[in-house]
């Protein structure tokens, strides 16, 4: 095995996607093409999960010193000089010895799960405008009422993703906990999934929690008191709070959310003054919130409980929400506002990702070959506004009341 191709995750990570299928990591979507992949509900122990066809193939490639194409995201990042997911996790587990494998790549029983990376289906309490039914089951209610879905054939397996309600699935996970040092919980919305608390309680019961680190991506619209108490017994808890804008604008984009509730939950966490709990704000950068991100940066810096700038994710999909669609004068205005908000914050964590996001906004579609959703139909800008109006009508809202600067760009 060479360091150039080795990745620890196919050996030590129990990673499950929304429908509950084993994946190599949350950065890898290779399993979507392979319908023979088992679901965790069909597995009898953690090793079954780690011995999917793709896992075996990738471990064999590693043993042969080859880059498996399914890990292309990591190879692309490394080839462009960046730090890949593979390198990050190899560093975390640099002192770990991977379990041994048989000739066909099967992981043998000396393996242990150290990283638990779980997507709790698509159970969510919000209907964010840049989201879809694969990540929020509530979008299904609007599916037939909006034209945006007409061209999409919903895969029934991705529509109902409640695998974690199967007792067997949670038992498989509970049997994996003994050597787990890191856990990553995604959704949907993980904080509304009671089974996630069962897993944490099991860690506490087995006296493992004080050596374990948890990470979440959450909308923080819900925060059970018992969870707040439980977090304090873990070595470290990273809470990545998804927010698009401040106040009503956030609630308009992240439909069903209530800014006051989110804010009070932030204060509840901050009031614990727990050194093991770290809050980070995560936002997207897309058409809906393009005029709001500068204020969001400023607001984040003013809050004592955030130690970094917001982490930014670009909206690539739906393609008609991509910020590259903005007219030039709007891009110039947004760049000016964001650069002004960032002024003097060059030393802060996530600063460079904002500069990258602004450069992305200014890039031409054809220049962004590294981005997955690079091509959009010529009518995308009109399609965005058509979609805005359809959702507004359905939800009895008006964009002018929440995002007035963006509303002025209406063709
Ligand atoms: S090489 Fe990258 S994509 Fe492949 S399993 Fe490792 S982290 Fe995931």
- Domains, in order of start, for the chain: 9-115 (no CATH), 124-160+188-407 (3.20.20)
Task: Return the pLDDT at 258.
Answer: 98
Query: How many angstroms separate the alpha carbon of residue 135 from the centre of ligand 1?
Result: 22
pTM for the complete prediction?
0.90
- Identify whether the C-beta of residue 314 lies closer than 8 Å to the C-beta of residue 361: no
List the residue whose alpha carbon is closest to atom 3 of ligand 1.
71
Beta bridge partners of 141: none
Residue-wise over 184-213: b if at least 16 C-beta within 10 A, else e? Answer: bbbbbbbbbbebbeebbebbeeeebbeebb
Return the closest-CA partner of residue 283 out of 220, 230, 339, 236.
220
Whether omega before 188 lies within 30 degrees of 0, making that bond cis, reads: yes
CA distance 303 to 280: 11
List the residue whose alpha carbon is closest to atom 6 of ligand 1.
86
- Identify whether the C-beta of residue 213 lies closer than 8 Å to the C-beta of residue 147: no
CA distance 244 to 284: 6
Strand residues in 223-274 grouped as ranges (E): 236-242, 254-255
Point out the ligand 1 atom lying closest to the alpha carbon of residue 74. Answer: 2
- What the block records as the tokens of 232 is 């304090």
- What the block records as the tokens of 229 is 């108490």
Q: Which of the residues in the chain have pLDDT under 50? A: 367-374
List the residue whose alpha carbon is closest to atom 4 of ligand 1.
71
Return the closest-CA partner of residue 73 out of 397, 287, 370.
370
Return the closest-CA partner of residue 161 out of 16, 50, 15, 14.
16
Q: Virtual CA dihedral for 27, 115, 221, 345, nearest 10 degrees? A: -70
Return the closest-CA partner of residue 285 out of 371, 398, 396.
371
Q: What is the H or E stretch that residue 48 is in?
A: helix 46-50
List the residue whose alpha carbon is closest to atom 7 of ligand 1.
86
Query: How many angstroms separate the alpha carbon of residue 217 from the centre of ligand 1?
Result: 20
Q: Which residues line ligand 1 (CB under 6 A)?
A: 7, 9-10, 24-25, 27-28, 71, 73-74, 84-86
- Identify whether the C-beta of residue 240 lies closer than 8 Å to the C-beta of residue 211: no
Residue 236: C-alpha distances to residues 56, 63, 212, 276, 333 (Å) = 32, 34, 7, 5, 40
- 10 Å CB burial of residue 233 (0-12, 13-18, 19+) is middle
């Amino acid at each position: 095995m060479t360091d150039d191709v080795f990745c620890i995750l196919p050996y030590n990570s129990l990673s499950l996607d929304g429908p509950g299928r084993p994946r190599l990591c949350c950065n890898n979507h290779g399993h979507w093409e392979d319908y023979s992949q088992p679901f965790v509900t069909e597995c009898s122990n953690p090793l079954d999960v780690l011995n999917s066809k793709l896992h075996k193939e990738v471990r064999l490639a590693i043993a042969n010193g080859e880059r498996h194409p399914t890990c292309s995201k990591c190879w692309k990042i490394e080839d462009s000089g960046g730090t890949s997911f593979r390198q990050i996790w190899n560093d975390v587990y640099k002192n770990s010895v991977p379990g041994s494998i048989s000739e066909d790549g099967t992981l043998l029983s000396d393996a242990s799960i150290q990283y638990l990376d779980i997507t709790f289906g698509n159970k969510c309490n919000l209907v964010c405008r840049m989201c879809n039914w694969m990540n929020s089951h509530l979008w299904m209610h609007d599916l037939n009422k909006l034209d945006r879905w007409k061209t999409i054939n919903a895969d029934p397996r991705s529509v109902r993703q409640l695998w974690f309600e199967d007792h067997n699935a949670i038992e498989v996970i509970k049997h994996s906990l003994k050597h787990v040092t890191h856990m990553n919980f995604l959704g949907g919305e993980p904080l509304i999934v009671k089974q996630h608390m069962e897993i944490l309680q099991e860690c506490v019961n087995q006296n493992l929690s004080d050596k374990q680190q948890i990470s979440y991506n959450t909308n923080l619209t819900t925060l059970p008191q018992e969870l707040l108490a439980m977090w304090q017994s873990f070595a470290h808890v990273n809470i990545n709070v998804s927010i698009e804008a401040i106040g009503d604008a956030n609630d308009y984009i992240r439909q069903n959310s209530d800014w006051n509730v989110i804010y009070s939950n932030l204060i509840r966490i901050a009031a614990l003054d727990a050194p093991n709990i770290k809050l980070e704000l995560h936002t997207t950068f897309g058409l809906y919130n393009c005029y709001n991100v500068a204020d969001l940066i400023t607001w984040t810096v003013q809050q004592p409980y955030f130690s970094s700038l917001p982490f930014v994710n670009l909206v690539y999909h739906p393609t008609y929400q991509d910020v590259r669609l903005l007219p030039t004068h709007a891009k110039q205005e947004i760049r000016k506002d964001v650069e002004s908000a960032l002024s003097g914050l060059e030393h802060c964590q996530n600063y460079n990702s904002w500069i990258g996001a602004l450069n992305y906004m200014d890039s031409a579609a054809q220049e962004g070959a590294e981005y997955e959703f690079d091509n959009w139909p010529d009518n995308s800008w009109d399609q965005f506004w058509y979609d805005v109006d359809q959702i507004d009508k359905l939800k009895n809202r008006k964009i002018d009341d929440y995002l007035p600067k963006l509303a002025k760009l209406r063709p």
